């Protein structure tokens, strides 16, 4: 097992480097030159103190200084990438990259990327984990019940709901919910994370925040139901048609034991990747929900960064996505081993 | 047996039988289309297991048994045909069409429906935007069209307290109505935010609003001597016989309003969208108070313009009437002169027969309708809503009236004869005044094209790589599957967002951009197809039926095409349907966020962007409800088709369920 994990981690590292290098090269094509803008800004500030004749040489000097500072004093993409990773030294002989904790600089917020990103990541993960747990609590029993009571009116109803829900883009669900709960009933605020102009502390702050994030959470849960019900029901149906279930029934085991112990264990195998994917997906945030509610999470951050062409930020978020994707794959495979003994034996 | 008789079945009979089965059920089908061989079948009906039916036929038959799925299939096909064929029959449609006077209008088809009570008693009709006002000879005012205005939520129906007052004249602006009573009092209703009527504190204080003159407000006018009452965008003018003119309203729209205030030598007046145009007592040029405006005249829309002075050559102007950007002058010799700009799709001025001359001319927002001394009616000018295509043979017309996009012909008794022009938007208009139904159809074409092309790209990449992977195995297989794994583990929407924002940085035409989006969608979606294809090929290579076929000496090529391929195709078909729905949804989502298809190109996604604003979503429900409904409906249908195909293809499910 240990060897297997080590192998997988090695593989992850290789893919990670390859993918990030590809992305890095892609972003190199974008017209963003921080050294140039900074040098330009400084020369503007110094405009009056130096004579016009020296301005060009001074600018070149400054430009070089900033290029060296930001490590862009070469056109070699590989070197730039290695500097970005933090394994190739800058002009001053020091490494300053991801391995040293420098994830880039956000132009938009004029702050280190990590500093801007951390609270967003926290928000996204909190609401995402909360709603993901709720989704599972609702959909697993519902999916199992539907599969067991196949073709009853109950199942038909749930199936119709999940078909419509599955075919509805999530933002339409959000529009309807905002309209119903905020505009018409007025129970929740339309958007935002705190009452504008308020400066609450302690319990009041918590209450205010809860009041603001209830509707986003409900929306997130609701939009996740359909897909999960569909997939749970489908894999449970497959599991129920297995021969081992017939055998279990023939043995005279109780319905409960047959369904929850025998069938569910089998149904879980294809579901593992969905569940793991769901939990890792929360790190990416929910773009539609966050952009519609103005919820400060990863999705909104990415959305705004792409709108304002904040490349360091986008690059880092992208790196996170790639990393999460790879780790999620590993975790999924490990979970397969957990729920499926056959996989465990074969490794 | 029964198969044989079916083979001889006429195609039309077959279609009719399907139709009956789909919409009326199996019972009627058996009743109306009895199987010819039924009699001999009955006694020796073979057992199910003795039938040799190919898997494809079996799946097709069981698909046809599911009514809902068949309906879904027909719906999707019809939808496809609609979105790909109907745009060819919308010659007036343009992606970037905007119309300021028709913004945010609810679904309404009554813009040309003159109320029944008014039809035999028409005194005058006027309109500037989405609603029209009419006055009967009895002095009663009627309003029709979109009475609740989208932009301001204002109701322009005649207020309760004014309903019993006998009116002498009435005119409508874009969101207000001004009426002069028989008593000379001036009544206004609708919006007064820009001083359209009344003397609110705001209108007196504001420097961009000219309030209604005080003497007019207090005492009214002498009705007998009112020459003309006309309304502009958010302004009104009353012209008296003696040349005195009263103008009030939004000065931001009509910047030359000051030039008319206090004048006593005005002969005629009208409003374009941005200027007040008038005739002074000399009647030899268009007076706007601004140099260089409307000083070149021509007789035809496409004709050569000459200086007004030279053009008139001593003739006097009798009447001036204006659309939003042009003016039409009726000269004292019965001919007309045009000045200003006309929209591209304008209908040319008709050439009159000898002895026929124009006696009256009225203007809508883009078109003119003219009446000749023989009682003939001609329309010309902007024709976007077919408002400049007057029907032939109306009869002898005595009076003509125009709405903003409509024309009405009235006979000598004041009886309604005919109307032509714009009925209204069946599904409302959006925030720039474009027809939502038209945009929905064209948007559907774009959304479905994006979905379809994306799926085709997915299939091309996925199936090819899957085949290679499954066929060769070894390190090629491992490599491809690892790459597929990485691709499928990336979160779709965020990555898509990043890639489309990169595309946005490139300088591409809209169609290239669209194609790039399709490519991005396709390139990110292929791993699913690769996985299925690979799995199917692996299974097929090992399966017993292939071994059996090999043992029977069937040729390799035949095994590949007759045995393995159909199995893969069926699975790919399912995946394709579901992927199509998913690709459509992804495109809609991206466009909704503003990253996929951008305005002015419509897509079902970017038509919903405005609805993310809660207030807009609530007030202008028609701007998102219909589009969302069609989106969900098509999604449900496609997913149903996919689910059903999967069910009928699955031998396990068909035997059990």
Are B539 and B629 in the same domain? Answer: yes
Decide if B477 is inside a domain.
Answer: yes
- Report residue B45's pLDDT band, with 50, 70 and 90 as the boundaries: low
Of A190, A302, A321, nearest to B490 by CB-CB distance is A321
Is the model's pLDDT at B5 over the cut of 60? no
From residue B552, alpha-carbon distances to B396, B555, B565, B568 in Å are 88, 9, 19, 22
Residues of chain B contacting residue A170, judged by C-beta atoms under 8 Å apart:
589
- Among the partner-chain residues B494, B502, B635, the one whose CB lies closest to the CB of A168 is B635
* Rg value, chain A, Cα: 26
- Is B589 in contact with A169 (CB distance < 8 Å)? yes
CB-based contact B489 A328, cutoff 8 Å: yes
**What count of other Cβ atoms lies within 10 Å of the Cβ of residue B440?**
21
CB A127 within 8 A of CB A217: yes
Instruction: Kindly determine whether residue A178 and residue B501, on different chains, have CB atoms separated by under 8 Å.
Output: no
Q: Mutate which of B71, B443, B489 to test chain A, going by most A C-beta atoms within 10 A?
A: B489
Same domain, B481 and B588: yes
Q: Give the residue from B20, B41, B72 where a domain finishes.
A: B72
ipTM, two decimals = 0.85
Nearest to B486 among A15, A303, A306 (CB): A15
Cβ atoms of B223 and B261 within 8 Å: the answer is no
Residue B107 resides in a domain: no
Helix (H) or strand (E) holding B358: strand B358-363
The domain tally of chain B equals 3
Structure tokens at B408: 């009405």
Contact flag B494-A284 (C-beta cutoff 8 Å):
yes
Chain A residue closest to B594 (CA)? A307
Residue B609 counted as domain residue = yes
Side by side, which strands form the sheet with B186-190?
B167-172, B176-181, B186-190
C-alpha span between A85 and B140 (Å, rounded): 81
Residues of B in contact with A325 (CB under 8 A): 486, 489-491
Q: Quick one: DSSP state of residue A262?
A: I
Other residues' Cβ atoms within 10 Å of the Cβ of residue B153: 11
Determine the residue of chain A that is closest to B646 in CA distance: A234
Q: Which residue of A has its CA nearest to B614?
A: A179
Residue percentage of chain B with pLDDT more than 70: 93
pLDDT tens track for B493-507: 877 887 877 777 777
- Tell whether B354 and B452 lie within a shared domain: no
pLDDT tens, residue by residue, A3-35: 888 888 898 888 888 888 888 887 777 767 777
Query: Could you tell me if B638 and B535 lie in one domain?
Result: yes
B139 touches chain A (CB under 8 A): no
CA B484 to chain centroid: 42
Q: Say yes or no for a CB contact (<8 Å) between B495 and A329.
A: no
Q: Which helix (H) or strand (E) holds A137?
A: helix A113-148
Quick count: other Cβ atoms within 10 Å of Cβ A201? Answer: 7
Residue B36's pLDDT band (boundaries 50, 70, 90)? Answer: low
Other CB atoms within 10 Å distance of the CB of residue B473: 14
What pLDDT is attached to residue B3? Answer: 47
B399-402 sheet: strands from edge to edge? B399-402, B406-410, B416-421
Say how far apart CA B106 and CA B125 lie, in whole Å.
22
Q: How many other CB atoms are there within 10 angstroms of residue B225's CB atom? A: 12
Contacts of B304 (CB under 8 A, 6+ apart): B298
According to the model, what pLDDT value does residue B654 have? Answer: 43
Report the C-alpha gap between B324 and B364 in whole angstroms.
Answer: 8
Q: Which of A17, A177, A306 to mutate to test the interface with B (most CBs of B within 10 A)?
A: A306
**Mutation for A interface: B75, B490, B491, most A CBs within 10 A:** B491
Give the nearest partner residue to A318 out of B485, B498, B615, using CB atoms.
B498
Assess whether B22 and B78 both reside in one domain.
no
Q: Search chain B and give the residue with CA nearest A164.
A: B636
Which of B491, B595, B656 lies nearest to residue A241, judging by beta carbons? B656
pLDDT value at position A26?
79
What six digits make up the tokens of B509? 């035409």
Q: Is B85 exposed, middle or buried (0-12, 13-18, 19+ CB in 10 A)?
A: exposed
Residue among B593, B604, B620, B642 with most chain A CBs within 10 A, to mutate: B593
CB A120 within 8 A of CB A301: yes
User: Do residues B502 and B577 both lie within one domain?
Assistant: yes
A69/chain B closest Cα distance in angstroms: 26
Strand partners, B362: B369
Q: Contact B421/B428 with Cβ under 8 angstroms?
A: no
Domain membership flag for residue B121: no
Q: Are B28 and B16 in contact (CB under 8 A)?
A: no
3-state secondary structure of A163: helix
Question: Cβ atoms within 10 A of the Cβ of A80, count?
Answer: 18
Distance CA B274, CA B365 (A): 12
Please state whether the peptide bond connecting residue B600 to the residue before it is cis, i.e. omega within 30 degrees of 0: yes
B651 conformational bin, left if phi > 0, alpha if psi -120 to 50, beta if neither: alpha
Residue among B489, B612, B632 minimizing CB distance to A168? B632
Residue in chain A lying closest to B589 (CA): A169
B238 forms beta bridges with B229, B246
Q: B370-407, pLDDT tens digit by residue?
A: 998 888 899 998 888 888 888 888 888 888 998 889 99
* Residue positions counted in chain A: 347
At B89-108, the pLDDT tens digits run 988 888 888 888 888 888 88
Whether B273 contacts chain A with CB within 8 A: no
Q: Does B588 touch chain A (CB under 8 A)?
A: yes
pLDDT recorded at residue B1:
40
Helices (H) and strands (E) counted in chain A, each on its own, are 15, 2
Task: Provide the token pair at A280.
Answer: 């890792």
Q: Given an 8 Å threshold on Cβ–Cβ distance, is A292 in contact with B491?
A: no
Q: List, as one string, the DSSP characters of B289-336.
A: SSTTSS-EEBSSTTS--EEHHHHHTT--EEEEEE-SSEEEEEETTS-E
Q: Is the dihedral of CA B264, B265, B268, B271 positive or negative?
A: negative
Choosing from B40, B72, B104, the residue where a domain stops is B72
Point out the residue among A167, A318, A322 whose CB comes nearest to the CB of B632.
A167
Which chain A residues are closer than 8 Å to B581 by Cβ?
Answer: 167
User: How far apart are alpha carbons B391 and B403 in whole angstroms?
Assistant: 16
Residues B347 and B452 in one domain: no
The dihedrals phi and psi of A70, each to the nearest 5 degrees, come to -90, 0
The answer to whether the Cβ–Cβ distance between B498 and A302 falls below 8 Å is yes
The answer to the question of residue B370 being in a domain is yes
- Which residues of chain A are modeled with pLDDT < 70? 31, 343-347
- Residue B219's Cα: distance from chain center in Å? 46
Residue of B nearest to A289 (CA): B612
> Is B592 in contact with A11 (Cβ distance < 8 A)?
no
What the block records as the tokens of A123 is 């928000």
Superfamily of domain A114-339 in CATH is MetI-like (1.10.3720.10)
> Over chain B, what is the mean pLDDT?
84
Spatial separation of the C-alpha atoms in residues B606 and B591, rounded to whole Å: 5
Residue A200, Ramachandran bin (φ over 0: left; ψ between -120 and 50: alpha; else beta): beta
Which residues does residue A222 pair with via DSSP β-bridges, in sequence order? none
Q: CA-based angle B578:B579:B583, to the nearest 5?
A: 125
Q: Do B34 and B78 fall into the same domain?
A: no
Domain positions in chain A are 33-106, 114-339
Q: In this predicted model, what pLDDT tens digit does every residue of B595-628 receive, in sequence order?
A: 888 888 899 998 998 888 888 888 888 999 999 9
The two tokens of residue A279 are 């939990």
* CB proximity list for B471: less than 8 A, separation 6 or greater: B537
Residues B386 and B509 reside in one and the same domain:
no
B498 in contact with A, Cβ within 8 Å: yes
Contact between residue B155 and residue B185 where contact means Cβ atoms under 8 Å apart? no
Confirm whether B555 is domain-assigned.
yes
Q: Are B267 and B347 in contact (CB under 8 A)?
A: no
What's the predicted TM-score (pTM) here?
0.83
How would DSSP label each residue in B565-613?
Answer: HHHHHHHHHHHHHHHHHHHHHHHHHHHHHTSSS-TTS--TTGGGGGGGS
Domain that holds residue B469: 73-87+441-649
Q: Is residue B411 part of a domain?
A: no
Q: How many Cβ atoms from other residues are within 10 Å of residue B327's Cβ?
A: 24
* Chain A contact probe: residue of B487, B497, B629, B643 with most A CBs at under 10 A: B497
Judge whether B632 is closer than 8 Å to chain A, CB to CB: yes
Can you give the pLDDT at residue A39? 80
CA–CA gap between residue B215 and residue B262 (Å, rounded)? 13
Q: Which residues of A touch B589 (CB under 8 A)?
A: 169-171, 288
Cβ atoms of A300 and A120 closer than 8 Å: yes
Q: Write down the pLDDT at residue B443.
A: 92
Residue B229, helix vs strand vs coil: strand
CB contact under 8 A, A163 and B640: yes
DSSP assignment of B141-179 equals: EEEEE--B-TTT--B-SPPGGGTTSPEEEEEE-SSEEEE
The pLDDT of residue A346? 53
Beta carbons of B608 and A163 less than 8 Å apart: no
| Mutate which: A167, A189, A272, A325, vs B, most B CBs within 10 A | A167
CA distances from A179 to B404, B455, B612 (A): 34, 34, 10
Domain assignment present for residue B274? The answer is yes
What average pLDDT score do residues B501-530 get? 85
What is the structure's pLDDT at B463? 86
| Whether B520 contacts B496, CB under 8 Å | yes
Phi, psi dihedrals of residue B336, rounded to the nearest 5°: -125, 155
């Amino acid at each position: 097992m240990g060897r297997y994990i080590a192998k997988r981690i090695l593989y992850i590292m290789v893919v990670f480097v390859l993918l990030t290098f590809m992305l890095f090269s892609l972003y190199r094509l974008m017209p963003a030159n921080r050294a140039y803008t900074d040098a330009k800004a400084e020369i503007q500030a110094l405009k009056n103190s130096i004579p016009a004749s020296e301005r060009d040489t001074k600018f070149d000097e400054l430009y070089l200084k900033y290029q060296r500072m930001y490590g862009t004093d070469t056109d070699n993409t590989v070197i730039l990438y290695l500097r970005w990773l933090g394994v190739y030294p800058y002009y001053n002989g020091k490494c300053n990259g991801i391995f040293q904790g420098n994830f880039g600089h956000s132009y938009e917020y004029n702050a280190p990327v990590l500093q801007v990103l951390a609270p967003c990541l926290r928000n996204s993960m909190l609401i995402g984990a909360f709603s993901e747990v709720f989704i599972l609590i609702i959909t697993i029993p519902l999916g199992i019940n539907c599969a067991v009571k196949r073709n009853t009116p109950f199942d038909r109803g749930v199936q119709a709901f999940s078909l419509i829900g599955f075919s509805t883009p999530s933002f339409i669900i959000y529009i309807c919910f905002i309209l119903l709960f905020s505009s018409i009933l007025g129970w929740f605020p339309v958007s935002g994370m705190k009452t504008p102009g308020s400066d609450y502390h302690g319990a009041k702050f918590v209450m205010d925040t809860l009041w603001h994030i209830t509707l986003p959470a409900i929306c997130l849960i609701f939009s996740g139901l359909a897909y999960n019900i569909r997939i749970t029901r489908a894999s449970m149906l497959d599991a129920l048609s297995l021969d081992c279930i017939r055998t279990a029934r023939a043995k005279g085991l109780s319905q409960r034991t047959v369904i929850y112990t025998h069938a569910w264990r089998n149904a879980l195998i294809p579901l593992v990747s969905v569940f793991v994917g769901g939990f890792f997906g929360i790190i990416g945030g929910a773009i539609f929900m966050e952009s519609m509610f103005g919820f400060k999470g990863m999705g909104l951050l990415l959305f705004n960064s792409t709108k304002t062409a904040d490349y360091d930020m986008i690059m880092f978020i992208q790196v996170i996505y790639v990393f999460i994707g790879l780790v999620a794959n590993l975790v999924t495979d490990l979970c397969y081993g957990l729920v499926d003994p056959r996989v465990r034996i074969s490794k | 047996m029964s198969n044989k008789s079916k083979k001889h079945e006429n195609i039309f009979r077959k279609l009719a039988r399907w139709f009956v089965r789909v919409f009326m059920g199996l019972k009627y089908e058996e009743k109306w289309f009895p199987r010819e061989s039924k009699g001999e079948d009955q006694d020796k009906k073979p057992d199910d297991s003795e039938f040799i039916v190919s898997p494809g036929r079996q799946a097709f038959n069981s698909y046809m048994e599911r009514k809902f799925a068949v309906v879904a299939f027909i719906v999707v096909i019809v939808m496809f045909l609609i979105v790909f064929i109907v745009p060819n029959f919308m010659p007036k449609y343009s992606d970037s069409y905007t119309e300021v006077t028709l913004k945010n209008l609810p679904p309404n088809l009554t813009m040309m429906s003159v109320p029944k009570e008014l039809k035999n008693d028409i005194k005058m009709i006027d309109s500037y935007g989405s609603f029209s006002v009419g006055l009967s000879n009895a002095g009663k005012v009627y309003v029709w069209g979109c009475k609740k205005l989208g932009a301001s939520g204002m109701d322009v129906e005649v207020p309760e307290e004014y309903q019993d007052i006998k009116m002498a004249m009435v005119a409508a602006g874009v969101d207000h109505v001004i009426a002069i009573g028989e008593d000379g009092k001036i009544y206004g209703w609708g919006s007064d935010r820009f001083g359209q009527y009344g003397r609110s504190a705001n209108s007196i204080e504001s420097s961009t609003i000219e309030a209604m003159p005080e003497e007019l407000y207090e005492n009214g006018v002498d009705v007998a001597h009112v020459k003309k009452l006309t309304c502009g965008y958010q302004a009104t003018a009353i012209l008296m016989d003696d040349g005195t003119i009263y103008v009030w309203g939004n000065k931001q729209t009509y910047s030359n309003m000051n030039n008319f205030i206090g004048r006593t030598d005005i002969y005629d007046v009208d409003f374009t969208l941005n200027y007040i145009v008038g005739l002074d007592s000399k009647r030899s040029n268009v007076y706007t108070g601004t140099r260089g405006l409307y000083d070149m005249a021509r007789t035809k829309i496409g004709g050569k313009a000459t200086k007004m002075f030279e053009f008139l050559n001593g003739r006097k102007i009798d009447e001036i009437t204006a659309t939003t950007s042009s003016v039409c002058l009726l000269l004292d010799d019965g001919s007309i002169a045009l000045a200003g700009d006309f929209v591209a799709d304008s209908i040319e001025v008709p050439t009159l027969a000898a002895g026929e001359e124009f006696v009256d001319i009225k203007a809508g927002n883009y078109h003119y309708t003219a009446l000749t001394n023989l009682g003939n009616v001609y329309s010309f000018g902007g024709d976007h809503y077919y408002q400049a295509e007057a029907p032939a043979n109306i009869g002898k017309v005595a009076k003509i009236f125009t709405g903003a996009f409509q024309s009405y012909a009235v006979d000598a008794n004041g009886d309604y004869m005919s109307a032509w022009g714009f009925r209204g938007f069946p599904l409302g208009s959006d925030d720039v005044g474009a027809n939502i139904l038209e945009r929905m159809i064209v948007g559907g074409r774009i959304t479905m094209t994006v979905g379809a092309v994306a799926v085709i790209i997915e299939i091309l990449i996925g199936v090819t790589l899957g085949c290679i992977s499954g066929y060769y195995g070894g390190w090629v297989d491992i490599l491809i599957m690892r790459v597929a794994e990485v691709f499928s583990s990336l979160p779709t929407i965020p990555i898509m967002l990043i890639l489309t924002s990169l595309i946005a940085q490139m300088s591409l035409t809209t169609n290239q951009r669209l194609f790039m989006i399709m490519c991005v969608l396709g390139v990110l979606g292929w791993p699913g197809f690769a996985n299925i294809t690979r799995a199917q090929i692996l299974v097929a290579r090992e399966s017993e039926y292939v071994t059996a076929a090999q043992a029977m000496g069937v040729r390799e090529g035949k095994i590949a095409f007759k045995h393995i391929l159909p199995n893969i195709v069926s699975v790919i078909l399912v995946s394709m349907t579901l992927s199509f729905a998913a690709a459509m949804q992804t495109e809609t989502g991206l466009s909704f966020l503003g990253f996929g298809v951008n305005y002015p190109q419509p897509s079902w996604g970017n038509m919903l962007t405005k609805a993310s604003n809660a207030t807009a979503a609530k007030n202008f429900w028609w701007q998102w409800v219909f589009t969302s409904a069609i989106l969900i409906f098509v999604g449900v249908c496609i997913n149903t088709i996919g689910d059903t195909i999967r069910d009928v293809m699955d031998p396990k499910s068909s035997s059990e369920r």
